Amino acid sequence: MKILHYTFISLLTVSLASCKKEGKKDGKIQDSLTAKKDSVVIPEVHQEYYGIYTGEFAGMEKMIDESDGSEYEGRIYKRISLKINRITKDSVYGQSIVNGNQRPVRGVFNEVSKSFVLDEPGNDKTDGRFEVKLAGDSMTGKWNAFNKKAVKAPLKTIKLAKKEFVYNPNFMLDPDSNLVDWSNPKDFVEKYTDSDGKTESYTISKNRVASEAVFTLNASKQKLTEKDIKNLRKLDLEIIKNSVFARHGYSFKKETYRNFFEQTDWYIPVSGNVDQDLSPMEKENVALLNRFIKYAEDKYDSFGR
């Protein structure tokens, strides 16, 4: 009886082991099938449309007339980049970059009309929908804000041209660039003495202005020294420093810097962070410029617009 008992236990053990082993085998087969299913690559189409489209982003905003304080509607122009990264039969993936804000976009492409409908995520108050059409290397259309009360211009027109972003250390501001910082006016109290010797005080608004040094010093090509920059204005130092970031395609949040670099043909905003792209020399120059910016003074003057 003991022999039969041991034989039964042995057979039961072998049977259980066999089932367990087979279960593992079945599991591996199932995992393999799942892996094959998950690894299916959705084919990409129309790769000729991939790239960066950059240009005009314009809308009507309420503005204040400085002379009498009255409100009026004026057209505001901004620079935007729309990147098309991937197109499949059912989906389009890309990014929008404007005002230093980089947002993912996803939508569809209509092959017949050669048009895109692209939506930003919608979890930011400035998100919206792009409806644009291709014509060669140009892209035109409109953008509508999802939250029309959250933005100054909920409807904007778009005129873009396809451009290839290339880093070039030789890029500089154009010699005919406007060197006035229109975004940060400052009020100054001045005095006026008339012919009778009577003195009156009045307030005048002035703007920062850069010097010609911004056309000669290049922090991407030359190792700057304290002697090179010690007598420069604060705005000079800021422009020379931020020219480094502009060459790498940084999308500026500050209107001051956008206004300077959007005057050029070469500036293409492509990223909200380019720190890792800077060369060792550029990083050293930026650190030096930051030290001097901290204590530098600005030159202000009055200008008409």
pLDDT digits (tens, 9 = 90+) for 163-174: 999 999 999 999
Same fold, 47-163 and 180-301: no
Residue 31 — φ and ψ, nearest 5°? -60, -40
Q: Which amino acid, 24?
A: K
Distance CA 207, CA 244 (A): 24
- Confidence category of residue 9, pLDDT binned at 50, 70, 90: very low
Distance CA 258, CA 247 (A): 13
| Contact by Cβ (8 Å): 57, 77 | yes
pLDDT of residue 1: 46
Task: Convert the pLDDT of each residue in 128-155 to its tens digit.
Answer: 999 999 999 999 999 999 999 999 899 9
| Contact by Cβ (8 Å): 203, 189 | yes
End-to-end CA distance of the chain: 111
pLDDT of residue 18: 47
From the list 103, 107, 113, 105, the residue with the least C-alpha distance to 88 is 107
pLDDT of residue 145: 97
In the chain, where the domains are located = 47-163, 180-301
pLDDT of residue 15: 47
DSSP 198: -
Secondary structure (3-state) at 77:
strand
From the list 134, 136, 159, the residue with the least C-alpha distance to 80 is 159
Higher pLDDT residue, 75 or 66?
A: 75
Q: Which amino acid, 19?
A: C
CA angle 299, 304, 305 (to 5 degrees): 110
% of the chain exceeding 90 in pLDDT: 70
CATH of domain 180-301: 1.20.58.1690
Please state the separation of Cα 125 from the chain's center in Å.
Answer: 16
Please state the separation of Cα 260 from the chain's center in Å.
Answer: 16
From the list 275, 270, 274, the residue with the least C-alpha distance to 84 is 270
Residue 10 — φ and ψ, nearest 5°? -65, -45
Distance CA 174, CA 145 (A): 34
Please identify which residue in the block is written with the tokens 């087969």: 29
What's the mean pLDDT in 17-34?
47
The secondary element (H helix, E strand) that includes residue 288 is helix 280-293
pLDDT of residue 138: 97
Distance CA 233, CA 297 (A): 6
Instruction: Answer whether residue 295 shows pLDDT above 80.
Output: yes
pLDDT of residue 121: 97
Which tokens hold the place of 85? 């990264």
Could you please state the CATH topology (level 3) that the domain comprising 47-163 is classified under. Answer: Lipocalin (2.40.128)
3-state helix, strand and coil shares in percent for the chain, rounded to the nearest 5: 30, 35, 35
Instruction: Answer whether residue 229 shows pLDDT above 50.
Output: yes
**Helix residue ranges, H only, the chain:** 2-38, 226-229, 234-247, 255-261, 280-293
Which tokens hold the place of 167? 């880093």
How far is the CA of 118 from the CAs of 78, 110, 121, 137, 146, in angstroms? 19, 11, 10, 18, 12
Instruction: Answer whether residue 127 shows pLDDT above 80.
Output: yes
pLDDT of residue 67: 67
Distance CA 214, CA 232 (A): 10
Higher pLDDT residue, 180 or 4?
A: 180
The secondary element (H helix, E strand) that includes residue 49 is none
Which tokens hold the place of 282? 């550029």
Q: Pairing mode, if any, of strands 92-98 and 71-87?
A: antiparallel
What's the mean pLDDT in 235-255?
96
Instruction: Answer whether residue 21 shows pLDDT above 50.
Output: no
Average of per-residue pLDDT values in the chain = 87
- Confidence category of residue 303, pLDDT binned at 50, 70, 90: confident
